[in-house]
Amino acid sequence: MSAKYFHLTVKEIIDETPDTKTFSFWHPIHQAISYKAGQFLTLIPEIEGKKVRRSYSMSSSPNKDASLAVTIKRVPGGLVSNYLCDNLKVGDAIETMEPMGHFVIEPNPTKERVIVLFGGGSGITPLMSIAKSVLPVETKTKVYLVYGSRNEENIIFKKQLDELEAQYSNRFKVLHVLSQPSYTWIGYKTRINQASAVTFLKQDFAIDIAKAEYYLCGPEGMMQHVEAAIKIFGVTDNQIHKEHFFSAHDEKAMEDEDEAGSLKEQTITIQYEGNDYTVVVKPHETILDAALRDDIDLPYSCQAGMCTACMGKCIAGKVSMDEEDGLTDNEIKQGYILTCVAHPTSSGVVIEID
């Protein structure tokens, strides 16, 4: 099934911090866009005559907010984030892909559970959506948030988080962790790492660590530290959900990457929307790069192997991937690949795209 595209009109813009803005959008006329808490929206602005795509987690709640919204933080050297923050205005229309992503939660009023959210920087965005979605629906569930920021003025959603904490005082607790706070800050001055994560869970929240569900979103190092900490207490992989963010620094690294010497030019077949396309993939190209070069409009979003928008299935031949974190082990065993980071390593490769 092909991805859907929409043109959404900006309804409101809120300055969250000096370098972060929330953009809310009107739903299309006669159609409400459905999504799950934690999913992302891919924006497709045209910059200097070229369409570019970036994925931004939605900070809105599908069951609480009338409009869908993304929150965008400026990134040094970030082409798209900076362009959107500087140029997108109320009333402007922008092309988007339908919401996607597997970092989701579906609130269930019959559930009574403990959910712990760990966020760093702009990683708060999907966690905000999750908290706002779960708290009104699961009236017996407790939600805890550990949120790491640089300093007080960089705390995204500070006012909203305070309001949620007041509204759900017996079921929602927020712990702000600042790495470079002002001298008047009386909270934690540290980073979220393996040792501090244990302290937060045992001393500040006093929860049964082994029984909670965990949602992590932020810098890769932070998530690795938290995962290592909670696994000490017997937390299993299926209790841990992670969202990997793709930054402008990753983008630059991709652009600077040398041509892979071990790869050879291969001719592959792509089955998409009822057609068979023959595509020549050069050594330095991914399967997605080669398809787009041939004007085959395959679905894609982050181009970093994280979002799964470009997922296909290798039904013949062999393929290698630069990055596998976006897929589950079971999906990889079944032959699923992400075309944006995939290279054919044998002749006769056939890729099936739903």
Q: What is the rounded average pLDDT of the residues 221-242?
A: 94
pLDDT tens, position by position, 118-174: 999 999 999 999 999 999 999 999 999 999 999 999 999 999 999 999 999 999 999
Q: Does 104 reside within a domain? A: no
Contact between 126 and 243 under an 8 Å Cβ cutoff? The reply is yes
Whether 82 and 182 map to the same domain: the answer is no
Contact between 343 and 263 under an 8 Å Cβ cutoff? The reply is yes
pLDDT score, position 53? 85
Crossing angle (nearest 10°) for helices 124-137 and 158-167: 20
pLDDT score, position 257? 37
Among 99, 134, 153, where does a domain finish?
A: 99
Whether 153 and 51 map to the same domain: the answer is no
pLDDT score, position 301? 79
Whether 233 and 121 map to the same domain: the answer is yes
Q: Does 249 reside within a domain? A: no
For 303, which DSSP code? S
- 348: domain CATH number is 3.10.20.30
Secondary structure of 138-190 in the HEC alphabet?
CCCCEEEEEEEECCHHHCCCHHHHHHHHHHCCCCEEEEEEECCCCCCCCCEEC
How far apart CA 284 and CA 268 sit, in angstroms, is 15
Whether 265 and 168 map to the same domain: the answer is no
Phi, psi of 120, rounded to the nearest 5 degrees = -135, 130
3-state helix vs strand vs coil in the chain, percent to 5:
25, 30, 40
Whether 236 and 270 map to the same domain: the answer is no
pLDDT score, position 245? 64
Q: What is the rounded average pLDDT of the residues 217-225?
A: 89
pLDDT band at 253 (very low <50, low <70, confident <90, very high): very low
Q: Which residues pair with 204 in a beta bridge?
A: none
pLDDT score, position 249? 41
How far apart CA 242 and CA 112 sit, in angstroms, is 22
Q: Does 216 reside within a domain? A: yes
Residue 57 has a CB neighbour count (10 Å cut-off) of 26
Among 188, 217, 243, where does a domain finish?
A: 243
Say what the pTM is: 0.76
State how many domains the chain has.
3
Q: Does 250 reside within a domain? A: no
How far apart CA 62 and CA 193 sit, in angstroms, is 31
Q: 23: part of which helix (H) or strand (E)? A: strand 20-25
pLDDT value at 232 more than 80 = yes
- Those residues whose C-beta lies under 8 Å from the C-beta of residue 261, and which sit 6 or more positions away, are 283
Whether 229 and 118 map to the same domain: the answer is yes
Which is more confident, 251 or 32? 32
Contact between 132 and 168 under an 8 Å Cβ cutoff? The reply is no
Q: Does 347 reside within a domain? A: yes
Amino acid letter for position 341:
V
Q: Does 248 reside within a domain? A: no
Whether 122 and 228 map to the same domain: the answer is yes
Phi, psi of 74, rounded to the nearest 5 degrees = -60, 145
Whether 121 and 172 map to the same domain: the answer is yes
Whether 239 and 274 map to the same domain: the answer is no
Q: Does 76 reside within a domain? A: yes
pLDDT tens, position by position, 50-106: 888 888 999 999 999 999 999 999 877 778 889 999 999 999 999 998 898 889 999
Whether 60 and 167 map to the same domain: the answer is no
- 154: domain CATH number is 3.40.50.80
How far apart CA 69 and CA 10 sit, in angstroms, is 9
pLDDT band at 261 (very low <50, low <70, confident <90, very high): very low
Whether 231 and 274 map to the same domain: the answer is no
Q: Which residues pair with 57 in a beta bridge?
A: 40
What is the domain extent for residue 335? 259-353
Contact between 296 and 324 under an 8 Å Cβ cutoff? The reply is no
- Those residues whose C-beta lies under 8 Å from the C-beta of residue 105, and which sit 6 or more positions away, are 36, 37, 38, 115, 130, 133, 134, 215, 241
Whether 216 and 286 map to the same domain: the answer is no
Q: Does 109 reside within a domain? A: no
Which is more confident, 285 or 200? 200
